Amino acid sequence: MGTKIWLAGRASAVAGHILAEKFTRPIAHTTNDVPRDGLALSTRWLTEALCRDHPGAEVVSFYSPGGSVGTTTRIALRVRYNDVGRKAGLPTALFTKTSTNFAQRILMGAGAVLDGETQFFMNLRPHVEMEAPAGYWGGFDDASWRSIMVMEDVAETKGAQFLTATTAVTCEQMTDLVGNLAALHGAFWEHDVIRTLKTPREHLLNVSSLINMSARAKVGMDRSKSVIPSALHGQADRLWRGTQRCLEMATSALPATLLHGDCHIAQVYITRDGKMGLADWQVIQQGGWACDFAYLVASACEPQDRREWEEQLLRTYLEQLSAAGGKAPDFDQAWLAYRQQLFYPFSVWAFTLGRAFYQPKMQPDDVSLKVVHRLSTAIQDHNSFDAIGV
């Protein structure tokens, strides 16, 4: 009840801010201001955000070629600089993500992910060599739950195309992706800089207290019964216990590293050069490597492909993890951890299908059904109930 009262109070306050913004239409002029979207800012704001390390550089104009609205409001920007900025090679193709409307602010604010991308891009991204966008500025306002992240527009700079669950991936592409994860995990293996981040256990407790995730995941299982192995029918409570247990293990039984935290195929892009990258870093956490690895591999691959590729993908990941500075477990230990970590991604996608009418639709149903099929089949293939002891 306490959480619901708190959320009701925050929702009322956020609604008040949004109403005021509609009447005043504020424009952000300094980076102390968090704009309501990627167009509600000025050349002065962009100069502070983009030119702070280049004295004399200024943004002289900008425009937007377009955008879209989903769990965040996404607006592309094209920026023009003065001679100093041009000679410094400052970025001209930008992409902004903001929490603009009420649903976005409640989802991100109550879920404690408003500052996730700011933390990643401003503090962590510079310390890892991997395929991911560059970040230029981020900030959030705790009173209004406004947030903004300004980053590289990889669709423009690298010809990136984003994948979906309906996009077929090859073994070579998956090998590249798990190498990206290994680089990320190795760079931050048991590193002090991640100690302030939430753990998988804390993330689940936070989300579950706000949206009754277990109940909605059960509804999602009913709605996706046709794509789930029959042996899992009627096992919603047991699958939820597996979810709780696997995140306890990701928090306390495995060495901590930096986790992407939401590592599914729709967060993946491919550049014009064929490199595989990871985007959408709102849900970063500190926790066990297998949480990301299991989520990525089991959500991205069709079951038959996964069965053929997963052993070698894990061996490749472990080799590259060691090369990147992580302390890789032996293969048998790693294989067990992989089997144990399949429950949380399944519950996330079952919840996505089982959302209540008042909750935002985060993915098309055909995409969610395909991912639920992949993840539930992986749980069945790996006898994950026995692996985790539920």
| Domain 159-388 listed as CATH 3.40.47.10 | no
Residue bearing tokens 């995941």: 217
**What fold does the segment set 2-156 form as a domain?**
Phosphorylase Kinase; domain 1 (3.30.200)
Q: Where in the chain is the domain with CATH 3.30.200.20?
A: 2-156
Residue 22 CA to residue 314 CA, distance in Å, equals: 51
Three-state secondary structure call for residue 75: strand
Residue 344 CA to residue 242 CA, distance in Å, equals: 8
Whether residue 341 contacts residue 290, with contact meaning beta carbons closer than 8 Å, is answered with yes
Q: Where in the chain is the domain with CATH 3.90.1200.10?
A: 159-388
280 Rama sector, left if φ>0, alpha if ψ -120 to 50, beta otherwise:
left
pLDDT digits over 23-62, tens only? 998 999 999 999 999 999 999 999 999 999 999 999 999 9
Pairing of strands 146-152, 135-141: antiparallel
Contact residues for 294 (Cβ-Cβ < 8 A; gap 6+): 338, 341, 342, 345, 378
Residue 357 CA to residue 129 CA, distance in Å, equals: 41
Angle subtended at Cα 298 by Cα 293 and Cα 301, rounded to the nearest 5 degrees: 120
SS3 labels along 101-120 = CHHHHHHHHHCCCCCHHHHH
Residue 198 CA to residue 200 CA, distance in Å, equals: 7
Residue 191 CA to residue 252 CA, distance in Å, equals: 15
1 has a pLDDT exceeding 60: no
Q: Which residues pair with 62 in a beta bridge?
A: 79
Q: What is the percentage of the chain residues whose pLDDT exceeds 90?
A: 86
Whether residue 239 contacts residue 346, with contact meaning beta carbons closer than 8 Å, is answered with yes
pLDDT at 210: 76
167 has a pLDDT exceeding 90: no
Q: Which residues pair with 287 in a beta bridge?
A: 257
248 has a pLDDT exceeding 90: yes
The lowest-confidence range among 87-101, 170-184, 206-220, 312-326 is: 206-220
The pair of three-digit structure tokens given for residue 373, joined into one six-digit string:
């099929």
The pair of three-digit structure tokens given for residue 165, joined into one six-digit string:
């669950």
283 has a pLDDT exceeding 70: yes
164 has a pLDDT exceeding 60: yes
